[in-house]
Amino acid sequence: MVERHFKMLKKIKDYSWMERYHLPYSSHQEYYRHPAIHQIHAITVLCGEWELNNNHVEKSISYTRDFQIKDYDHSKDYFLDTHLLSQEIRLCLNGKTIVNTRESKDMYNITHAIHCGLNTMTVYVKPHFMLEQLEQLWVIERTNDRIVNFDVAVQNMCEDKCLHIKLQITNIEGAPIPTYTLVDSQGKSLLSGDIHLDRVNDIILTYDDIERLQEERYQLFIDTEDETLVQTIEILE
């Protein structure tokens, strides 16, 4: 069951998860070329290789595994994504407690605990814990000057044949200098420009055929110096 689940994760590109967490890509090319989460440079997937430790004296169960961050960069920040965990755990990284799901949140900053080379993660669980849950842990690398959150709203002005994409940056870290590129489903660049951090950005796309517009699926690329975030835009009737 675990092995089959692992293989499925390799094949599926979960767009809803990526956009919810604003998954960072290194470029537009990486977004198009890598169809699975485990192939993305900024992601370390903690699938497989979990070792069971059953302590009968202390009546505790834990799982341990070692992992490395590819091209670890001490100047960047690292986060552990736990949003798919639904069972109570306590998680330690290199001997430091990182997660206690009694105080659950989706993302944990583990920059202070992770390092170059081999890292050891131990997860303490209750009986009947489902091992598949550990197959859905990821470490995410983020640059210091980054966009943390943003909002996108779409307004179709049919009379003027204009599509207004309203983009607002709601949270940043450091001092990013962002730009945007709007791309159609064929990968053709339609619009690009600078993003203002202090106000709503109104990106206006003109069109001739409303039916063709509704058939399209657009990608809004939000670029900083070291990262690319992606928002998919679909036009509803």
What is the full DSSP assignment across 6-33?
HHHHHH---HHHHHHTT--BSSHHHHHH
3-state SS of the chain: helix, strand, coil percent to 5?
A: 15, 45, 40
172-224 tens-digit pLDDT: 999 999 999 999 988 999 999 999 999 999 999 998 877 777 778 899 999 99
pLDDT tens by residue, the chain, 237 residues? 233 333 333 333 344 444 445 789 999 999 998 767 888 999 999 988 899 988 776 677 899 999 999 999 999 999 998 877 777 788 999 999 988 765 556 789 999 999 999 999 999 888 878 888 888 889 999 999 999 999 999 988 878 888 999 999 999 999 999 999 999 988 999 999 999 999 999 999 998 877 777 778 899 999 999 999 999 987 765
Query: Is residue 45 a contact partner of residue 9, using CB atoms and an 8 Å limit?
Result: yes
All domains in the chain, ordered by first residue:
2-142 (2.60.120.260), 146-234 (2.60.40.10)
Would the pTM of this model clear 0.85, i.e. be above it?
Answer: no
CA angle 216, 182, 13 (to 5 degrees): 65
CA nearest neighbour of 81 among 52, 42, 50: 42
What is the full DSSP assignment across 115-170?
-SS-EEEEEEE-TT--GGGGGG-EEEEE-SSEEEEEEEEEEEETTTTEEEEEEEEE
The letter for the amino acid at 14 is D
